């Protein structure tokens, strides 16, 4: 999460209020079984579909506390030295993330096979000394490969200050780890012949802490058409809780879901109700909230291009942007649930018949 308050005022984007209109469940009912071919599975009539295993659930179960913990402890270790944009620790982390995808058999987004999208040093306006890299992997959709669902998280953090490593375990090793685990779940689906209909892009951006540069660069130099990008689900800090939820930790803040697409908000709500039952807190979705979180993480670079987004966030805590944001303080049970929610939401969006409608400006 970027610290400085950004005061872009895109009144066009935010002109529509956040009021929810209508409670009708607009999610595509076919989507829950849409990856199943009735003919291939010898299903005689539609009702039989109800007895078929919920594939989404099967793959979501591969997102486990143990796996998340292992990867997060690695990313938030001394070796990566706080992952400051352009520094050695960030580059080592980029290698770690790239190797992870390679080992899973998930291809690079670049056609030349390189997972790294290189950003020249000058692009960072003096906020970083060296060139840096986004890491981008990709699963090709089975039916609508030219429509893209982008899952993003920034993997850079604040580096070393006054000889102290800023580990950024929550910010945003938690989101980075979640995207990696979600990718593994999708790849399991692919291997079993149940891959997503639309393509999924796993976008690990750099330069977030110094000004949302990695996501800005991606949207200015998109690897996949922005016009065909259906949604951006962005995760920035989902491993902790804030004081407000000390007694009720099974929550996550959702920001932006209804800003461009009512359908996205409704689908997100229905998906959570069906699978994860977290308390979805919309406090920061309020136009008038002074924190203006909608403008403060990478999803905003997609939203300003009229791409519907959801930002998943656990709120701030005492360790926010401190060297004490460490892996031992992460609530891995919550991280698991929230990562599963993002997976299910991506699954529904990727597999539904129709592309999400953008009905707001
Ligand atoms: Zn941050």
Span from the CA of 267 to the centroid of ligand 1 (angstroms): 28
Span from the CA of 262 to the centroid of ligand 1 (angstroms): 29
Query: Residue 29 has what pLDDT?
Result: 39
31 occurs within a structural domain? no
Instruction: Answer whether residue 350 shows pLDDT above 50.
Output: yes
Parent domain of 145? 11-15+56-351
pLDDT digits (tens, 9 = 90+) for 139-169: 999 999 999 999 999 999 999 999 999 999 9
Span from the CA of 360 to the centroid of ligand 1 (angstroms): 29
Query: Residue 206 has what pLDDT?
Result: 98
Report how many domains make up the chain: 1
Span from the CA of 165 to the centroid of ligand 1 (angstroms): 14
Give the list of residues 6+ apart from residue 42 with CB closer than 8 angstroms, or none. none
Binned at pLDDT 50, 70 and 90, residue 22 comes out as very low
280 occurs within a structural domain? yes
342 occurs within a structural domain? yes
48 occurs within a structural domain? no
Backbone angles phi, psi at 74, to 5 degrees: -65, -55
Instruction: Answer whether residue 346 shows pLDDT above 80.
Output: yes
Task: Give the pairing of strands 198-205 and 132-139.
Answer: antiparallel
242 occurs within a structural domain? yes
Over range 3-31, report the average pLDDT: 43
Binned at pLDDT 50, 70 and 90, residue 52 comes out as low
Q: CA of 205: how far to CAs of 82, 92, 194, 262, 299, in Å? A: 15, 14, 28, 27, 11
Span from the CA of 300 to the centroid of ligand 1 (angstroms): 15
With contact defined as beta carbons under 8 Å apart, do 236 and 183 qualify? no
Q: What percent of the chain has pLDDT over 90?
A: 83
Residues in the chain: 361
Query: Residue 44 has what pLDDT?
Result: 47
Instruction: Answer whether residue 302 shows pLDDT above 90.
Output: yes
Give the list of residues 6+ apart from residue 140 with CB closer than 8 angstroms, or none. 107, 195, 199
What is the rounded average pLDDT for all residues in the chain? 90
Output the pTM of the full model. 0.87
Tokens of 253: 């803040």
Helix and strand numbers (H, E) in the chain are 9, 11
Span from the CA of 215 to the centroid of ligand 1 (angstroms): 14
- Least confident among 136-150, 239-253, 282-296, 334-348: 282-296
Instruction: Answer whether residue 288 shows pLDDT above 60.
Output: yes
Tokens of 145: 């490969």
Span from the CA of 209 to the centroid of ligand 1 (angstroms): 5
262 occurs within a structural domain? yes
137 occurs within a structural domain? yes
Tokens of 57: 């659930």
Query: Residue 4 has what pLDDT?
Result: 52
Over range 81-88, report the average pLDDT: 98
* CATH number of the domain where residue 272 is located: 3.40.630.10
Span from the CA of 157 to the centroid of ligand 1 (angstroms): 6
163 occurs within a structural domain? yes
Alpha-carbon span 300 to 304, nearest angstrom: 6
Tokens of 270: 């229905």
Tell me which of 11 and 285 has the higher pLDDT: 285
**42 secondary structure, DSSP code:** T
Q: What percent of the chain has pLDDT over 70?
A: 86
């Amino acid at each position: 999460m970027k610290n400085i308050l950004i005061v872009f005022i895109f009144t066009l984007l935010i002109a529509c209020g956040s009021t929810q209109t209508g409670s009708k469940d607009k999610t595509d009912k076919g989507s829950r079984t849409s990856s199943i071919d009735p003919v291939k599975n010898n299903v005689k009539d539609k009702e039989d579909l109800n007895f078929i295993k919920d594939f989404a659930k099967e793959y979501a179960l591969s997102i486990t506390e143990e796996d998340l913990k292992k990867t997060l402890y690695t990313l938030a270790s001394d070796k990566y030295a706080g992952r400051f944009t352009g520094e050695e620790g960030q580059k080592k982390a980029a290698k770690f993330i790239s190797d992870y995808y390679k080992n899973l058999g998930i291809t690079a987004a670049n056609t030349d096979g390189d997972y790294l999208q290189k950003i020249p040093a000058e692009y960072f306006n003096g906020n970083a000394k060296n060139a840096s890299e986004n890491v981008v992997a990709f699963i090709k959709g089975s039916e609508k490969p030219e429509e893209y669902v982008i899952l993003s998280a920034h993997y850079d953090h604040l580096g070393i200050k006054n000889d102290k490593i800023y580990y950024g375990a929550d910010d945003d090793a938690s989101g980075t780890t979640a995207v990696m685990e979600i990718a593994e779940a999708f790849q399991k689906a692919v291997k079993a012949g149940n891959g997503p209909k639309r393509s999924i892009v796993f976008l690990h951006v750099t330069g977030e802490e110094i000004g949302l540069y990695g996501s800005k660069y991606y949207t200015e130099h998109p690897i996949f058409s922005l016009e065909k990008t259906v949604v951006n689900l962005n995760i920035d800090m989902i491993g902790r809780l804030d004081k407000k939820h000390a007694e009720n930790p099974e929550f996550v803040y959702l920001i932006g879901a209804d800003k461009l697409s009512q359908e996205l908000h409704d689908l997100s709500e229905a998906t959570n109700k069906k699978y994860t039952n977290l308390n979805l807190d919309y406090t920061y979705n309020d136009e008038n909230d002074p924190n203006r979180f909608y403008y403060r993480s990478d999803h905003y670079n997609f939203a300003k291009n009229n791409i519907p987004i959801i930002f998943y966030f656990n709120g701030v805590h005492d360790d926010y942007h401190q060297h004490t944001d460490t892996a031992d303080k992460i609530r891995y049970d919550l991280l698991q649930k929230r990562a599963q929610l993002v997976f299910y939401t991506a699954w529904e969006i990727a597999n539904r018949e129709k592309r999400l409608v953008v009905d707001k400006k």
